[in-house]
Amino acid sequence: MSKKQLKIAVVGLGYVGFPLALEFAGKGIEVVGIEIDSDRLKDITNRRSYITDITSLELKAALARGNFKASANFSDIKEADAVFICVPTPLKGRNLPDISFIKNAVKAVSLHIKKGALVVLESTTYPGTTEEEILPIFQKRGLKHGRDFYLCFSPERIDPGNKKFPIHRIPKVVGGISPEATRMGESLYRIIIKQVVPVSSCRCAETVKLLENTFRLINIGLIDELSMMAHKMRIDIWEVVRAAATKPFGFMPFYPGPGVGGHCIPKDPLYLYWKAKSFGFNSRFIKLASDIINHMPEYTVKRIEEALSSHAKKLKGARILVLGVTYKKDVKDLRQSPGIEVIRALRKRGAVVCYSDPFIPFLKLNDIDLRSVVLSNQNIKMFDCILIAADHSSVDYKGLLKSAKLIFDSRNVFKGIHKEKVERL
């Protein structure tokens, strides 16, 4: 089949699904995106992108070409040769995997799928999900793998906000229920991605993603712990990492922070942890790293308290501005953001907390209702301490340094600057 005749569907137009859909559309393929969030659908209709990695201009261009549309109606997938599922996989209760979004999406797909189409799950999940949970949904409807449909798992590895590595530059791992399914997945991804890495099974492909994110979790946990240790020992951990990173092999730099957020690192390893438990295996590394990282917002507050105290100020009643509340720099994603955790912890200790973030004009959560403060010199001077929680590129840090009374820099924005008013994590 030629590219021009190919039709694909992407279920879930979020941080993962939306760029994927536009990437295929950019190659001239007819793409329908299925989305249940009416606000997101409205934004698409109004040609407004809600994701940092897609500009509204790019969305406008895709809509103008006429080969991309968004819909809430699953019957729109009935002509698709391939369906990519990119729905959320959060945690529920006591850190348990919640794969209900996947199951609901797959049930709806199984009602409308075209005979012989390929279904690819891209949502991050525990090993065995595709084979044990997804395959039976199709089978229960009397559909046979290899005749009526094909099934693969392919982990999404995007790094939102990272301009150096857009989708097409990130090698794609794919593993199918059968070698034929893997081959189909491989040839589809080759349309948009240079390097495709086939593996022997869905289970392997699922575990690849969890290895990658567990590797990050554990290394972040390690450097967070070392940063707390280094502070006690009066060693500058940032300088240590910078120098260690000059080793050309066997070392990869990780940096401490006020915690870890987003829809990946804090929760993906817990999917693996849970699944391993069902095999009677206790992953001590995952548990330890999660515990250390979860402690970082509290630790950040403790360090802010110390910094204020050395400026003869008490935390209770202090006016604190949290600069950057998204989970990392240059994205507008608030999910599991450590900045929010720090705001809560500071408030609990009696501090008066405001925030400023170029990506988040209003912060409306259950317990927080704030408006972003404009970073004028006059406003900056009103605060006893400014915590840099996310180091967005567009902020005028020079101006901040000039006007602030005290800065708690949890991201090493003021690298190499040693001033009494700058305290580093």
Ligand X SMILES: NC(=O)c1ccc[n+]([C@@H]2O[C@H](COP(=O)([O-])OP(=O)(O)OC[C@H]3O[C@@H](n4cnc5c(N)ncnc54)[C@H](O)[C@@H]3O)[C@@H](O)[C@H]2O)c1
Site track for ligand X across 21-60, x = CB under 6 A: -------------xxxx--x--------------------
Looking from the CA of 221 toward its CB, the CA atoms found within 13 Å total: 21
Which residue in the set 86, 152, 188, 199 belongs to the binding site for ligand X (CB under 6 A)? Answer: 86
Which residue in the set 79, 101, 183, 219 belongs to the binding site for ligand X (CB under 6 A)? Answer: 101
326-346 CB burial, b ≥16 within 10 A, e <16 = bbbbbbbbbbbbbbbbbbebb
Q: Give the pair of three-digit tokens for residue 17.
A: 């699904």
User: Which of the following is catalytic: 152, 264, 354, 385?
Assistant: 264
SS3 (DSSP) at 241: helix
Site track for ligand X across 135-174, x = CB under 6 A: ---------------------x-x-x--------------
Tell whether residue 123 is a contact of ligand X (CB under 6 A): yes
Which residue in the set 99, 105, 363, 406 belongs to the binding site for ligand X (CB under 6 A)? Answer: 105
If the CB atoms of residues 260 and 321 are measured against ligand X, the closer one turns out to be 260
Residue closest to 261 by CA, chosen among 71, 152, 115, 389: 389
Helix, strand, coil shares of the chain, percent, nearest 5, are 40, 15, 45
Neighbours of 251 (CB within 10 A): 11
SS3 (DSSP) at 292: helix
The answer to whether residue 264 is catalytic is yes
- Give me the least distance between CB of 245 and ligand X, in Å please: 24
Tell whether residue 324 is a contact of ligand X (CB under 6 A): no
* Secondary structure (DSSP) of 318-336: -EEEEE--SSSTT----TT
Tell whether residue 349 is a contact of ligand X (CB under 6 A): no
- Spatial neighbors of 66 by CB under 8 A, at least 6 apart, are none
Which residue in the set 88, 198, 324, 338 belongs to the binding site for ligand X (CB under 6 A)? Answer: 88
Task: Considering only the stretches 179-187, 259-267, 338-346, 351-359, report the one whose residues sit in contact with ligand X under the rule CB under 6 A.
Answer: 259-267
- Give me the least distance between CB of 274 and ligand X, in Å please: 15
Is residue 89 within 8 Å of 123, Cβ to Cβ?
yes
Tell whether residue 15 is a contact of ligand X (CB under 6 A): yes
| Backbone phi and psi for residue 113, each to the nearest 5 degrees, phi listed first | -65, 140
Tell whether residue 10 is a contact of ligand X (CB under 6 A): no
- Give me the least distance between CB of 51 and ligand X, in Å please: 8
- Give me the least distance between CB of 72 and ligand X, in Å please: 8
| Backbone phi and psi for residue 167, each to the nearest 5 degrees, phi listed first | -45, -50
Which residue in the set 13, 174, 220, 395 belongs to the binding site for ligand X (CB under 6 A)? Answer: 13
Which residue in the set 8, 9, 10, 16 belongs to the binding site for ligand X (CB under 6 A)? Answer: 16
Task: Considering only the stretches 24-32, 84-92, 132-140, 341-349, report the one whose residues sit in contact with ligand X under the rule CB under 6 A.
Answer: 84-92
Whose tokens are 């800065």? That residue is: 407
Tell whether residue 198 is a contact of ligand X (CB under 6 A): no
Which residue in the set 87, 199, 360, 404 belongs to the binding site for ligand X (CB under 6 A)? Answer: 87
- Give me the least distance between CB of 231 and ligand X, in Å please: 30
SS (H, E, C) 168-215: HHCCEEEEECCHHHHHHHHHHHCCCCCCEEEECCHHHHHHHHHHHHHH
- Interface positions with ligand X (CB under 6 A): 11-17, 34-37, 40, 86-89, 101, 104-105, 123-124, 156, 158, 160, 262-264
* Residues forming the active site: 264
